[in-house]
Amino acid sequence: MDLFDDVPAPSPNMLPPAAGPLPDIVAPGLDCLFVGFNPGLRSGALGHHYAGRGNQFWRLLFEAGLTPRLYRPEEDVTLPAIGLGSTNLVARATASAAELSRAELRGGVPRLARIVAFVRPRVLAYTGKGVYLAATGLPDAPWGVQERGLFDGVADVVVPSPSGLARLPFEEKLRWFRDVQAEIDRRRGTG
């Protein structure tokens, strides 16, 4: 039973607009849709996902085997060609996710449900435990593949925030980003 069975699957022209500085990077049938809290100020100003100077997202994707080479933030629009996408729970840019209210974060879930209904990704990768907890309303969750996905037929994987502000060492973050690739492979039947 999907939590959003009552949300109609949108046609391509019904995909909800981002209503913020960053477009959603989506296409039907993605292997993985990355879900963040919201854009940082630099990403919002530049109009590209994970564009902060200290953000490790693009390096993590490459080193985890999710991209064939190291991409730059301004190449985010090309991600669907390799089966990846990106969106956020909240559209407005802030210096820190701590500036977002719990209600604002939970308010992004119905929109995420519509995007998932349109995209039907194999995997949703939440870039930060707080993102996943805000989306699900759960009090806690482990890193990695979750026992049950928020949406039927879609695996949830919780990875550490790629932000340079997140205190985990790069290698620890990379471990969990590799879980995303492993789950994609498992769901494709190639892993």
pLDDT at site 105 = 85
Q: Is residue 3 part of a domain?
A: no
Indicate the pLDDT class of residue 93, thresholds 50, 70 and 90: low
Residue 7 lies in a domain: no
Tell me the pLDDT tens digit for each residue of 160-180.
999 888 889 999 999 999 999
The domain of 179 spans 32-189
Question: Length of the chain, please?
Answer: 191
Catalytic residue among 38, 48, 55, 88: 38
> Which of 13, 48, 49, 88 is the catalytic position?
49
What pLDDT score does 4 carry? Answer: 37
Residue 104 within a domain: yes
For residue 15, being part of any structural domain is answered with no
In a domain, 161, yes or no: yes
Question: How confident is the model over 4-14, as a mean pLDDT?
Answer: 44
Q: Does residue 116 form part of some domain? A: yes
Query: Quick check: is 10 in a domain?
Result: no
The verdict on whether 49 is a catalytic residue reads yes
Residue 30: which of 80, 66, 77 has the closest Cα?
80
pLDDT mean across residues, the chain: 87
Domains of the chain: total: 1
48 is known as an active-site residue: no
Q: What is the CATH number of the domain that holds 107?
A: 3.40.470.10
Higher pLDDT, 82 or 43: 82
Evaluate whether residue 17 is within a structural domain: no
The reported pLDDT for the residue numbered 135 is: 94
